[in-house]
Structure 1
Amino acid sequence: MPKQYRIVAGRDLLHYTLAAFDACNEFAQTLVVISPDDNHFDARRFSGLRFAVRRCGGASRQASVYNGLGALAEFGARDGDWVLVHDAARPGITPALIRTLVETLKDDPVGGIMALPVADTLKRAAPKSDAASGVHIARTEARDGLWQAQTPQMFRIGMLRAAIERAQQDGHDLTDEASAIEWLGHAPRLVQGSLRNFKVTYPEDFALAEAILSRAAE
């Protein structure tokens, strides 16, 4: 089962993201972009929350975001409007974090992202030459000035669409929306995020999300 539909603290993982955005009346619409062949999504499981769904997901994050930007036009969104792109697998997002991002960036000429300064020591792995010997350290990387990107990432619709189109033309493989904006030569702003806004990636992450979300519901 796709992780966004796994039950955590009594609800689908996706529910927590939708609830956080639903609590923010600053938004005209919340759009859930899913794959055309997604057989797991059931709108009834998210009843009471404001959102729309479009089955326009692509083969990559880049394609899904691009298609989602196009779908927003159906709801009256214009190129000059702000859009926030968020990972469904980050259920720890809160209305307070969303509002901090919006308040910080609403007058910014470019936009920006939630992120955290890197606190851990970073190691560069050596090229793996022998599967039996495991992975070894090649060197330690300086962490000064490094931030770990999170979402939401907030940009103007027109600028983000143009940035993705330019990156596609240049054959650039995007890992997030900010990298597309950077590809145009802009410098997105970094806004302090939160450890609770982590991305559920590994099997053990579900237990951590369960602990965080269960406590928040108390």
Structure 2
Amino acid sequence: MPSEQFWAIVPAAGTGSRMQTDKPKQYLLLQQQTVLMHTLNRLLSHPQISGLVIAIAKDDPWWSSLEIPADWPLLIAEGGQQRSDSVLNALDRLADEQVGDPWVLVHDAARPCLRHADIDHMIHSLATDEVGGILAMPITDTVKRATMDGRVAETVPREALWRAATPQMFRLQQLRQALSQAIAAGINVTDEASAMEYLGYQPKLIAGHADNIKITLPQDLPLAELFLQQQGGSNL
């Protein structure tokens, strides 16, 4: 394994409106801790993660109430209007630290069940890759395309279809360039890979565990709690 630095980036400026709660989903409680604290701990407790940059909304009233360990190598960037803006701000913040051109693993704030084994798999699979890649899961369900009035238009072949997840791992400077150009061109950047694809890169797909869910709807919270219980403290 090459001697490399690996930094985590967590965009955490979203409002999570689909959760229908009085606070963003990353600040909801999960096993007596916020979802965000679970996520940060999963990343920063990994031995190969050098540090983490989190993008927080400028008017966020909840962040200051978290008990962040003093020894966490944590940098703060200002969140943007869109996820892509927050990630770019975090990359700029990291570049200001003059850390060179490390790998960055961008991870959703609302994915608290990430396993260390999946981080290991990504690092071992991508550390010598020229592009980088994303954690993803092959689609196993039958996939339907809908009409405008909610009827089945066709069945889409699921072969070679994957469900994108995070972390998404790319070089700092390449991702920074890709996001900057995609945003300037008005491209709908739904994840970091789509920005890289805009520049013509083909990120590699790395199969991850299905329990790395993103908390989006109210029913996702008890499911995440079940997964954390199943994983236990040592099964990361």
Q: Specify if TM > 0.5.
A: yes
Q: Which moved more, 1:92-101 or 1:106-115?
A: 92-101
Amino acid at match of 1:97: D
1:63 is matched with 85
Report SS of the residue matched to 1:101. helix
Structure with more of its chain in strand, by fraction: 2
Equivalent residues of 1:31, 1:54 under 8 A apart: yes
2:96 aligned to which of 43, 50, 74:
74
1:32 aligned to which of 54, 67, 72:
54
Report SS of the residue matched to 2:201. coil
Please give the residue correspondences for 1:98-113 in structure 2 after superposition, counting only pairs within 5 Å.
98-113=119-134
Equivalent residues of 2:111, 2:212 under 8 A apart: yes
Equivalent residues of 1:18, 1:51 under 8 A apart: no
Asked if residue 10 in structure 1 is aligned to residue 38 in structure 2, the reply is: no
Relative to structure 1, the CA distance from residue 197 to residue 97 in structure 2 (aligned partners, 3 Å threshold; closer, same or farther) is: same
Q: Which moved more, 1:52-61 or 1:39-48?
A: 39-48
1:123 is matched with 144
Asked if residue 146 in structure 1 is aligned to residue 161 in structure 2, the reply is: yes
How far has the Cα of 1:112 moved from its partner? Answer: 0.3
How far has the Cα of 1:2 moved from its partner? Answer: 0.6
Q: Give the whole-Å Cα distance in 2 for the aligned partners of 1:120 and 1:4.
A: 28
The percentage of counterpart residues that share the same residue type is 39
The TM-score normalised by the length of structure 2 is 0.84
Asked if residue 155 in structure 1 is aligned to residue 170 in structure 2, the reply is: yes
Q: 1:146-196 deviations in whole A, cap 9, x for unaligned?
A: 000000000001100111122123221100000111111111000011111
Amino acid at match of 2:86: S
Question: RMSD of aligned C-alpha atoms?
Answer: 1.6
Structure with more of its chain in helix, by fraction: 1
Tell me, which stretches of 5 or more residues in structure 1 are unaligned? 129-134
Amino acid at match of 1:57: G
Tell me, which stretches of 5 or more residues in structure 2 are unaligned? 1-22
The TM-score normalised by the length of structure 1 is 0.91
2:74 aligned to which of 19, 41, 52:
52
Q: Give the whole-Å Cα distance in 2 for the aligned partners of 1:143 and 1:46.
A: 43
Equivalent residues of 2:55, 2:86 under 8 A apart: yes
Please give the residue correspondences for 1:195-214 in structure 2 after superposition, counting only pairs within 5 Å.
195-214=210-229
Report SS of the residue matched to 1:196. coil
Equivalent residues of 1:160, 1:180 under 8 A apart: yes
